[in-house]
C-alpha cells in the first residue's frame, strides 16, 4: 500500500512513527496520549500496543466486511476473513505511518477505525469488481438522455434532460465525460475506477466535481434551476 502524498489518506502527516522516544503531543488527552506514546518505536510496551491496535483494526475491518456482505452476499467465510485480515494489516501500517497526524480531534480509537473501514470498504468494492471489465466508452455520453428519459416526462423535464445531454457534449473534456458516465450512470465504484486508471480517489473526484460544476453553470445560463432538489 502506498502511504504518502498519493495515498488514499490525504494530507495528514506521513512522517512515520518517529524516533525511539516515547513522546506525544502535549494537547492529547490521557487515553490518546497513552496510545501515541506506546506506539512510538522503541517505547515501553510498544509491541503490546501494536497488537492491541491490530485487534482494534481487525474488529473494524470485520465489521465493515460483514456489513457489506449482509447488504449483498458475495463472499465465502474464508474470503471475508482474508479481506478483513488484509485490511487490518494495511490499516496498521497506515496508522503507524500517520501517527504524527493524530491531533486528538476525536478519540484515538475512532481515528484509527476510519483507516480500517476505508481499507475494508475499498477491498470489498475491488473484490466485487474483480474480473469485471470497466468500459470507458468515449461515446457513451451520447446515451445519457436515453438513460434519463421516462415515459411520463413533462415538457420541462424533457428540456432539462436535453440540455444536460448537450452540455455534456459541449462543456466537458473527453476524460471528464468518461469519468462522469462511469461513476454516475454505470455505477463503477470510484476506487475501482481509480485502480484501473492508476490514479487516486481524490483525483478522480476532482475531475467529477469540476465536470458537475461546468454542467450546472451551463444549465444555469439557460435558465434551469439546478441543485435545488
Write out the residues near other proteins by the rule CB under 8 A: 8-12, 60, 63-64, 67, 72, 103-107, 109-111, 113-114, 117-118, 120-122, 125, 144, 147-148, 150, 160, 164, 180, 183-185, 189-191, 201-202, 205-206, 208-209, 212-213, 215-216, 219, 226-227, 229
If you compute the radius of gyration of the chain from its CA atoms, what whole number of angstroms results?
Answer: 22
To the nearest whole angstrom, how small is the minimum distance from the Cβ of residue 53 to other proteins? 15
Min CB(81)–other proteins separation in Å: 18
C-alpha cell at 53: 491496535
CB nearer to other proteins: give 43 or 167.
167
**Matching residue, cell 475499498:** 122
Closest C-alpha among 29, 28, 49 to residue 40: 49
Helix, strand, coil share (%) of the chain residues, nearest 5 = 65, 0, 35
Closer CB to other proteins, 53 or 180, in the complex? 180
Closer Cβ to other proteins, 81 or 205, answer by number: 205
| Burial zone of 159 (CB within 10 Å; 0-12 exposed, 13-18 middle, 19+ buried) | middle
Q: Which is nearer to other proteins, 35 or 111 (CB)?
A: 111
* Phi-psi region at 198: left, alpha or beta (left = phi > 0; alpha = psi -120 to 50): left
- Residue whose cell numbers read 473534456: 173
Which C-beta is closer to other proteins: that of 43 or that of 168?
168
The residue among 66, 39, 68 whose CA lies nearest residue 52 is: 39
Least separation in angstroms between residue 212's CB and other proteins is 3
Q: How far is the CB of 84 from other proteins (least distance, A)?
A: 13
In whole angstroms, the minimum distance from the beta carbon of 3 to other proteins comes to 13
Contact 8, 122 (CB under 8 A): yes
Min. distance of Cβ 102 from other proteins in angstroms? 9
Q: Residue 181 burial by CB count (10 A; 0-12/13-18/19+): exposed, middle or buried?
A: buried
- Give 41 or 171: the residue with its C-beta nearer to other proteins: 171
Amino acid at each position: 500500500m502506498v502511504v504518502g502524498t498519493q495515498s488514499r489518506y490525504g494530507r495528514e502527516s506521513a512522517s512515520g512513527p518517529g524516533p525511539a522516544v516515547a513522546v506525544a503531543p502535549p494537547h492529547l488527552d490521557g487515553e490518546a496520549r497513552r496510545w501515541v506514546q506506546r506506539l512510538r518505536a522503541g517505547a515501553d510496551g510498544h509491541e503490546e500496543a501494536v497488537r492491541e491496535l491490530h485487534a482494534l483494526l481487525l474488529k473494524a475491518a470485520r465489521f465493515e466486511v460483514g456489513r457489506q456482505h449482509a447488504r449483498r452476499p458475495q463472499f465465502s467465510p474464508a474470503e471475508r476473513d482474508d479481506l478483513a485480515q488484509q485490511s487490518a494489516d494495511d490499516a496498521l501500517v497506515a496508522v503507524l505511518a500517520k501517527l504524527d497526524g493524530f491531533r486528538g480531534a476525536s478519540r484515538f480509537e475512532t481515528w484509527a477505525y476510519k483507516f480500517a473501514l476505508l481499507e475494508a470498504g475499498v477491498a470489498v468494492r475491488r473484490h466485487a469488481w474483480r474480473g469485471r471489465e470497466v468500459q470507458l466508452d468515449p461515446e457513451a455520453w451520447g446515451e445519457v438522455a436515453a438513460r434519463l428519459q421516462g415515459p411520463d416526462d413533462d415538457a420541462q423535464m424533457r428540456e432539462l434532460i436535453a440540455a444536460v445531454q448537450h452540455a455534456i457534449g459541449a462543456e466537458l473534456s473527453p476524460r471528464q465525460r468518461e469519468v462522469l458516465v462511469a461513476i454516475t450512470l454505470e455505477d463503477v465504484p470510484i476506487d475501482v475506477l481509480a485502480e484501473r486508471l492508476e490514479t487516486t480517489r481524490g483525483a478522480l473526484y476532482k475531475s467529477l466535481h469540476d465536470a458537475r460544476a461546468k454542467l450546472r453553470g451551463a444549465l444555469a445560463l439557460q435558465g434551469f434551476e439546478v441543485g435545488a432538489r
